[in-house]
Structure 1
Amino acid sequence: MGRLILRVKATKLDIAGHRRVVREEALAAEEPLEIRLGHEPFTVSMRTPGDDFDLVAGFLVSEGIIYEPDELISLRFCAGEDENGQQTFNVVEAQLRPDVVLPSLAAQRNVTTTSACGICGTASIDAVRKSSHYAITAPVDQPLVKAEVLASLPGILREQQKLFEKTGGVHAAGLFAPDGELLILREDVGRHNAVDKVVGAAFRERQLPLANTILQVSGRASFELVQKAAMAGVPLLAAVSAPSSLSVELARESGVTLVGFSRGDTLNVYTHGGRIGD
């Protein structure tokens, strides 16, 4: 597995003190991961190494390619070497069940997706409005989580972010039970990768659909994160920053409760607020 942290020299400029200080800084690693379906290249994504099998599984679920654990036969690292002849662990091959039909989108996905964007390779906005195989079953008019519990989740997530503690440069996604118990946490330079890793971990443990759970993310609530939540059957997505207009629209259409600006004692509820109790 590739390194999670790289150490580099950096010059800190102390403007008030008129000083320059050279010191070592810890940076979160960012490397390409090529995903192959069988022996055929499918896409390349920039990510932080680690939990790569979870990332691939979650990505395939989010793309609507698989939804049953038996459809994913195996995951393995393929040969890939750096200039020193060392295995890079930057190529993962997913072997799918023979009857899994790849969508036409697959032919358009053979481009690099950055750590900032999880749907940069799609052809149009209509192409990413996928239909989930998992219905969101949590009633929209019955409380799923208490407001004070929901407001506490960003703090719990932050306390468990070991990679962020060392680098300050990664996003996190955490899957929580309604009582605030942290079930799964993953970190990555890409917020969409962190969510895929959470979904993939649950998928590989045969826990999908993720009914009666809360997905808390450390960044903003983008369209792609709402889509990934809906594809996994998550009824409530909360973010510490703002949602986009399109993410609110998708959350309303797909039945996801969307919360933004979850900070301290306040939060904004944009859709299906009946799932949040007093």
Structure 2
Amino acid sequence: MEATNSLVSFSKIYKYSKPESSHFQDLLAVEAPLQIRLEFEKNKEWHKKDLLVTMRSPGNDFDLALGFLFAEGIIESDRDILLMRYCQQVKPEEKGNVLIVKFVEGFEIDLKKLGRNFYTNSSCGVCGKTAIEAVKCKNHVLPINPEWQLSPETILRLPEGLLSSQTAFKYTGGLHAAALYDQYGDLLLLREDIGRHNALDKLIGACLKGNIDLSNEKIVLLSGRVSYEMAQKAINAGIPVLLAFGPPTQLSVDLAKEKQMTLIGFLKEESFNVYSGEKRIKIVGKKIV
């Protein structure tokens, strides 16, 4: 059973504000380490390997692990996993923070991918990969359906909808979000986390678990910027349209163009920038350069 969601906590603080000051209770975003431990069969023997330590907001940890393993190409679907559970043989302070992922018998795991020595934190994403080759995106080019185009009006109404749906963000201001929408701009799924990468992993994992096809006329909106890794995760999951409130990096734009993913940044209530994949955007009477 997955641990209870605990994105926020109360803290007593002292606030200074002219002309007077006071004490009161404030809500803070929760951050705690999560270790992912793998169990797999090789040569008719079961092996264990610590894969990942990530700083995350507790809650939806199973989605996070599933999405991360899929986005990194370690698994192809949730059917590769026999079970997930929290390790009980830990120190009291580690309870609910060590997650065991056991693969199905006969699952062939790529040990080279496990040799990357993953470590993530809430701001930088995955660090310590042993070679540049390890971060290259090997997925195929995303197909473009000429009969499906998004209207600018649909895109422009997404920011207000996301902010109104981010319950924990309203009270703390300290959480990122990854949101899934259908072709009409209706919210289907939302995940929040202290880390941008974790929020997207949680969303991808939830979609895998719920048998939601991300490649079928779906839109994903991110609350932060788009790094190469964020674009890579989206492409690996088959997401055709990726939007963000913040800017993309040059490398993420190059990757999006190569894989034909529609990448939009600086999304506001009245404007947005299209960096790649403009064929999926319906612009009447104007050409996107």
Same fold (TM over 0.5): yes
**Offset at 1:181?**
1.3
Alpha-carbon spacing, 1:244–1:270, altered in 2? closer, same or farther (3 Å): same
| Cα distance in 1, alignment partners of residues 154 and 263 from structure 2 | 15
Q: Across the two proteins, how many residue pairs are aligned to each other? A: 271
Q: Distance in 2 between matches of 1:131 and 1:208?
A: 20
- Cα drift, residue 118 of structure 1: 1.9
Who is 1:108 aligned against? 116
* Matching of residue 7 in structure 1 with residue 10 in structure 2: yes
2-side partners of 1:123 and 1:18: how far apart? Answer: 55
Give the secondary structure class of the aligned counterpart of 1:145. coil
Q: CA deviation at 1:124?
A: 3.8
Report deviation, 1:258: 0.4
Say if 1:182 and 1:209 are closer, same or farther in 2 by CA, change over 3 A.
closer
Partner of 1:170: 175
Displacement of 1:86 in angstroms is 6.7
**1:55 and 1:196 in contact (8 A); partners too:** yes
The SS at the match of 2:99 is strand
In the TM superposition, what whole-angstrom CA distance separates every residue of 1:59-85 from its partner, at most 9, and x where no partner exists? 001101112232122111112655xx4
In the alignment, the residues of structure 2 paired with residue 262 and residue 80 of structure 1 have an alpha-carbon distance, to the nearest angstrom, of: 46
Instruction: Give TM-score, length-normalised by structure 2.
Output: 0.87
Give, in angstroms, the shift of residue 117 of structure 1. Answer: 2.0
User: How many angstroms does 1:143 deviate by?
Assistant: 4.2
- Give the 5 Å matches for 1:237-256: 237-256=242-261
**What do the CA deviations read for 1:11-42 (whole angstroms, capped 9, x no partner)?**
2222xx24332222111110011001113211
Alpha-carbon spacing, 1:145–1:209, altered in 2? closer, same or farther (3 Å): same
How far apart are residue 255 of structure 1 and its match? 1.6
* CA–CA separation in structure 2 for the residues paired with 1:248 and 1:267: 15
In the alignment, residue 206 of structure 2 is paired with which amino acid?
A
User: Residues 127 and 192 of structure 1: is their aligned pair in 2 closer, same or farther, counting only changes over 3 Å?
Assistant: same
- Runs of 4+ residues over 6 Å off in structure 1: none
Aligned to 2:32: 31
Residues 177-192 of structure 1 mapped to structure 2, 5 A cutoff: 177-192=182-197
- What's 1:224 paired with? 229
Q: Deviations over 1:209-254 (max 9, x none)?
A: 5331011011111111111100000001000111111111111112
* Residue 95 (1) aligns with residue 102 (2): yes
User: Between the two proteins, what is the percent identity of the paired residues?
Assistant: 37
- 1:1-278 aligned at under 5 Å gives the runs 1=3, 3-14=6-17, 17-38=18-39, 39-79=48-88, 81=90, 85=92, 88-97=95-104, 98-109=106-117, 111-132=118-139, 136-139=142-145, 143-278=148-283
Conserved? CA contact 1:137–1:211, under 8 Å: no
What does residue 44 of structure 2 align with? none
- Give unmatched runs, 5+ long, in structure 2: 40-47, 284-289
Segments of structure 1 that go 5 or more residues without pairing to the other structure are: none
Give the RMSD, CA atoms, in angstroms.
1.9
**Contact 1:29 1:48 (C-alpha < 8 Å) held by counterparts:** yes
Distance 1:37 1:275 in 2: 39
Shift of 1:168: 1.1
